[in-house]
């Protein structure tokens, strides 16, 4: 017999070892399940629930169809609702879409009443949509669309929907609703222009009110300014009259003195004219006897004549 007809024992042993390894891995996959962090699981025996598995780790089971371990994602998930129409308390339509944060809180109830995450999303969308319609229907249109932020009730609507849908979702589906929020808010095309017209009219009315208040304030300020001006002018006029009266009194007293001594009055007038003329640094060519330069001709010519004596001497 030639050497080519001999069997190859080493190769056969490797094939057997590989087959045994594959069989062991298959058997292990049928009897051991890994539950990771952030997951929840439920063990069933012949389709009946044995209990929930809450902690991560390796868990053994009998091969299918005896036992099965259903594993679910227990982390918070977000459901984004579609933009749907709902009616306000005063019968006006609005378009609203919500987002809902949820997670599996009771995996046993979730498995028994829901089964899959896809079905959970459908059930949750219907439940949240129902409470959205009920909650929005208790608020007027101005609570959702309003230029005044203080008049909006959007946050209160979100809290009301979450507070109403949360207990029902846990009781029915084993789902905990963490949050509900308004993702978008719109208006049907049919009423958009009417809403904008009303908002423009409201803004115009507010602007007119502010303008009227501003004009009233301007009139008041102008009236106060005119009153203050009139008061100051009256006080200045009174002060001018007082000063003029004092000047007239002083002038009258001077005139009395000058009437008694006309020569003194003429002498003082010449001095005044002479001071004004010489103070201008001008060159003036006049005769020495021309007033008022006759004061410079000598004391005999410049001195005022003495008042005539009224005595009776000889």
Q: Give the domain ranges of the chain.
A: 21-73, 77-187
- What pLDDT was estimated at residue 20? 66
Is the pLDDT score of 301 beyond 50? no
Widest pairwise Cα distance in the chain: 203
Residue 187: CB atoms within 10 A of its CB come to 19
Structure tokens at 196: 């904008």
CB-hemisphere CA count at 13 Å for 67? 16
* Cis status, amide bond into 3, omega within 30 of 0: no
Ranking 39-48, 217-226, 300-309 by mean pLDDT, the lowest is: 300-309
Query: Which two structure tokens, joined as six digits, stand for 130?
Result: 């129902």
Ranking 32-46, 89-103, 249-263, 279-293 by mean pLDDT, the lowest is 279-293
Residue pair 36/54 in contact (Cβ under 8 Å)? The answer is: no
CA 293 to CA 274: how far, in whole Å?
A: 7
At residue 13, the 3 state secondary structure works out as helix
Distance CA 156, CA 181 (A): 10
Count how many residues are written for the chain.
314
Q: Rounded to whole angstroms, how far apart are CA atoms 303 and 295?
A: 8
Q: How much is the pLDDT for 152? A: 95
190-204 mean pLDDT: 73
Cα–Cα distance, 11 to 17 (Å, whole number)? 10
Model pLDDT, residue 233: 86
Tens digits of residue pLDDT in 111-120 = 999 999 999 9
Q: Which residue has the higher pLDDT, 309 or 179?
A: 179
Rounded Cα distance, 291 and 269, in Å: 10
pLDDT recorded at residue 176 = 97
Report the 10 Å Cβ neighbour count for 156: 12
Q: How far is CA 232 from the centre of its chain?
A: 46
pLDDT of residue 257: 66
The burial class, CB within 10 Å (0-12 / 13-18 / 19+), for 103 is: middle
The CATH code for residues 77-187 is: 3.30.479.30
Q: Per residue in 85-119, pLDDT tens?
A: 999 999 999 999 999 999 999 999 999 999 999 99
Secondary structure element (H or E) that encloses residue 52, with its range = strand 48-53
> Is residue 83 over pLDDT 70?
yes
Is 128 within 8 Å of 80 (Cβ atoms)?
no
User: Residue 52 forms beta bridges with which residues?
Assistant: 42
Provide the Cα torsion 194, 198, 199, 201; round to 10°. 140
pLDDT at res. 25: 63
Query: What is d(CA 120, CA 207) in angstroms, rounded to the nearest whole number?
Result: 51
* 215-218: Cβ within 8 A, 24+ apart: none
DSSP characters over 80-140: E---EEEE-TTS-EEEEEEEEEEEES-HHHHHHHT-SHHHHHHHHHHHHHHHHHHHHTTS-
Mean pLDDT for the chain? 80
């Amino acid at each position: 017999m030639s050497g080519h007809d001999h069997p190859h024992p080493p190769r056969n042993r490797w094939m057997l070892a590989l087959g045994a390894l594959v069989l062991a891995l298959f058997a292990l996959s049928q009897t051991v399940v890994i539950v990771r962090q952030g997951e929840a699981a439920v063990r069933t025996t012949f389709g009946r629930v044995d209990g929930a598995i809450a902690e991560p780790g390796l868990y053994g089971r009998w091969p299918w169809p005896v036992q099965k371990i259903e594993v679910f994602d227990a982390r918070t998930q977000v459901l984004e609702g579609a933009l749907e129409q709902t009616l306000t308390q005063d019968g006006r339509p609005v378009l609203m879409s919500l987002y809902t944060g949820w997670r599996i809180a009771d995996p046993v109830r979730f498995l028994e009443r829901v089964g899959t995450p896809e079905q959970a999303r459908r059930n949750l969308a219907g439940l949240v949509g129902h409470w959205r319609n009920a909650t929005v229907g208790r608020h007027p249109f101005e609570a959702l669309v309003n230029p005044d932020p203080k008049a909006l009730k959007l946050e209160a609507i979100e809290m009301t929907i979450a507070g109403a849908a949360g207990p029902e979702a846990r009781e029915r589906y084993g789902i905990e609703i963490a949050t509900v929020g308004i993702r978008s808010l719109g208006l049907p095309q049919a009423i958009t222009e009417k809403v904008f017209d009303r908002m423009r009219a409201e803004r115009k009315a507010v602007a007119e009110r502010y303008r009227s208040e501003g004009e009233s304030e301007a009139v008041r300020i102008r009236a106060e300014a005119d009153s203050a001006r009139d008061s100051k002018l009256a006080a200045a006029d009174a002060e001018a009259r007082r000063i003029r009266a004092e000047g007239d009194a002083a002038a009258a007293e001077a005139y009395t003195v000058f009437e008694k001594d006309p020569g003194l009055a003429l002498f003082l007038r010449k001095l005044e004219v002479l001071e004004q003329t010489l103070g201008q640094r001008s060159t003036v060519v006049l005769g020495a006897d021309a007033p008022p330069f006759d004061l410079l001709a000598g004391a005999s010519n410049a001195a005022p004549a003495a008042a005539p004596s009224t005595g009776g001497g000889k």
